[in-house]
Structure 1
Amino acid sequence: MKYGYARISSESQSFDEQINALLEIGVEIQNIFKDISSGVKAERKEQDNLISTLKEGDYLYVFKIDRIARNTTHLSTLIKSFEDNEINFISIQEPFFDTTTSNSIYLYSFFKLIRKLEKEIMKERAMKGIESERRRCVVGGRKRGLSLKALNKAKVAETLYKESKFSIEHICELLEIGSRRTLYKYLRSRNVKIGSYKKRKEK
């Protein structure tokens, strides 16, 4: 069965050129799925309906690749799905996108390479993110310089400080913190803004 897909970005545009090309290639009008959606918008209801309709051995025609794919990642995903489900995919204006020809093996290989490169790029970005965190002296989600014991004290200090029931001196005494400066260091490690909570001295 032959199917077609057409897309325009806004209602001010026309489907005519795409529809005419699909009809000329032999796609029946009832088998043409149409969306009005911008190129980057992920939601395309009729495209989703089309994908769920396609079966093994079917032919899918588009006027141009950019009518069906949002970007190279999306195109790579579509090509992989078509390959896995043995669906023939043809771009009318771009003959090299034709999985029914002998060139299809090169097309599939190309997109396998694209997917591999994308995974490697994502992995590289993740590693750079970890390295960036290390350079900012952040290890395992906590700032370097605070021991586990100090972190626990910082959590309790944050709670006591926000309750506004204890003076700074009393918090230091309760938690055996040597100085106000150290207490403030603990609070800042918890992203507590010093002076944002009004303290009441003990009676």
Structure 2
Amino acid sequence: MLIGYARTSTIEQKAGLDTQLEELKKAGCDKVFEEQVSSVDIKARTQLDAAIEYIREGDTLVVTKLDRLARSVSHLMKILDDLTTKSAHLRILGLGIDTAGPTGKLILTVLGGMAEFERGIMLERQREGIAKAKAAGKYKGRKPTARAKSEEVIQLHTAGTGKAEIARQLGIGRASVYRILNSAIAAKSQCVET
């Protein structure tokens, strides 16, 4: 039996999820598990866990791309180990890899290692670029969106609006609301002392 698994990182990537589902259907998957969750948050990937739990001996877990399945080589190896324990296999459509044979397992392990290595190199380059930009005075970071709404936060709070409602109305986090209000209180108390 072919068991499909599709994942996108965010709800905004609906088209990407639809494309994966279409590819899995064309591949002949009998059942498909899907979710929209970041690959970083491995614990929140309940549908991946459900797919692996559902798989029986001789079944194959099918994904469209390697990055839809695992974030790191260690995570990939854990998934492969779980599948091997169940005498099941993994097929990655975009790479044409099937772990039913030893060659597929070897190629997958090497590709997973290369992908993790490339990601590490990319992050290192990014850090170096940010450090250079900071040294040149060109890197300012992200604009503080919540602080730009400080006056609105204070006005709404003064009008009796609750902190959670303020956050919802202004599209900022509750922690930002608390931070803005605490800063305003601290500033006010300094003015009173002076």
Task: Give the TM-score normalised by structure 2.
Answer: 0.51
What is the 5 A alignment of 1:86-97?
A: 86-95=87-96, 97=97
In structure 2, relative to structure 1, the CA distance for the partners of 1:39 and 1:55 (3 Å cut) is same
CA deviation map 1:155-174 (0-9, x unaligned): xxxxxxxxxxxxxxxxxxxx
Determine which structure has the larger helix proportion and give its number: 2
Corresponding residue of 1:27 = 29
Corresponding residue of 2:100 = 100
Count of aligned pairs: 108
**Structure 2 contact 52–83 (Cα < 8 Å) conserved:** no
Corresponding residue of 1:17 = 19
Mapped to 1, the partners of 2:78 and 2:56 lie a distance apart of 17
Mapped to 2, the partners of 1:46 and 1:94 lie a distance apart of 22
**Structure 1 contact 5–47 (Cα < 8 Å) conserved:** yes
Shift of 1:73: 1.1
Instruction: Give the 3-state SS of the residue equivalent to 1:93 in structure 2.
Output: helix
Shift of 1:105: 5.4
Task: Give the TM-score normalised by structure 1.
Answer: 0.49
Mapped to 2, the partners of 1:86 and 1:104 lie a distance apart of 15
Mapped to 2, the partners of 1:45 and 1:60 lie a distance apart of 15
Corresponding residue of 2:50 = 49
CA deviation map 1:177-203 (0-9, x unaligned): xxxxxxxxxxxxxxxxxxxxxxxxxxx
Shift of 1:7: 0.3
Structure 2's unaligned 5+ residue stretches are 114-194
Quote the RMSD (CA, aligned, Å).
2.0
**Structure 1 contact 41–70 (Cα < 8 Å) conserved:** no
- Give the 4+ runs in structure 1 shifted more than 4 A: none
Q: Percent identity?
A: 29
**Structure 2 contact 56–86 (Cα < 8 Å) conserved:** yes
